[in-house]
Structure 1
Amino acid sequence: MTGIGPRLREERTRLKLSQSALGAIGGVETNAQGNYESGARSPKADYLLRITGAGVDINYVLTGVRQRENDGTLPSTVPHDAVHHEHFEKVTHQLHRNLHGLIDALYQMALLIELRANDTQDETTKTELETVRAQAQELAQASVRLIFETSRLT
């Protein structure tokens, strides 16, 4: 493998992390993580510093040469429990941010659907709009439950 992107992907895979998880640890969205791994974009220093805490061998990512531990072995493939907990909290925080945005958008959509349903005389359209509004409401409720349940885990 040549280039930062493929080595970054290799390190993420070695640590058994998803693009979303490593992106959250590094403070970037999943699409940015994908762009880094594909080589479409280069990661910034602050991102690289943050993912080092996850056990990513930055020396390898940047140079292609693996860093060795003091005893000559390769770095551990599994981050320490404290690091796992920190990663879990970061990913949970990103999930909550995204879910809050989703809930807000669903609320706005429900309001717009209600206005549109009041403006139309077509019963088929009203039924379709009511179905979409009910689904949006169910999704918002599920999002709130997910926020609540994941908050209890951190």
Structure 2
Amino acid sequence: MRSGRARLDRTVVQSFYDRMRAVAPAAYGALERDRAGDPGRAFRDTSCGRLVASLDAAGLRALGMWAHHWCMRFYDDDTRVGLRLVREIAGRPGLGWTADEVRWMLGESEAAGPSAAHRFTLPAAAARELSPAIRRQLTTPELAAVADLELSTAAPEGAGPGAGERRVLAG
């Protein structure tokens, strides 16, 4: 990853793709049906909403990662339905996100670049669920800006002038 974070083990990444592949057919079908449907419907009444309601926390994380990946790769297409799905999953606390899942999504977000305006929506929400110590290891300035985290360059207590250390403070 470009930010200098450690690369994820191939086995871990493969497990993400395996989990995402399990939800991909239903997710893609739901997105396509919702794309053709009424954009003003309440989320719970959409195909994506019904899919979300049918999944447990692990399934929602896999669906979120798939939708995030899909939106990052196809950000220039009509992704309004996909972004709505990502926002809905991001708004659900307590899904049990892991540091590796957040690292993977951050890598996807960084690779998409700034032209993908909503690239930190899901990783930011997921990062808020991690412990402050883990968040410190993952946080980039961009993620901090959207995750309501504060980056500090304060010097550690007892350090001399100019001994500033970049760290993340929970906001």
The TM-score range, normalised by the shorter chain, is: under 0.3
The alignment's TM-score, normalised by the length of structure 1, stands at 0.23
Q: Which has the higher contact order (CA 8 A, sep 6+)?
A: 1
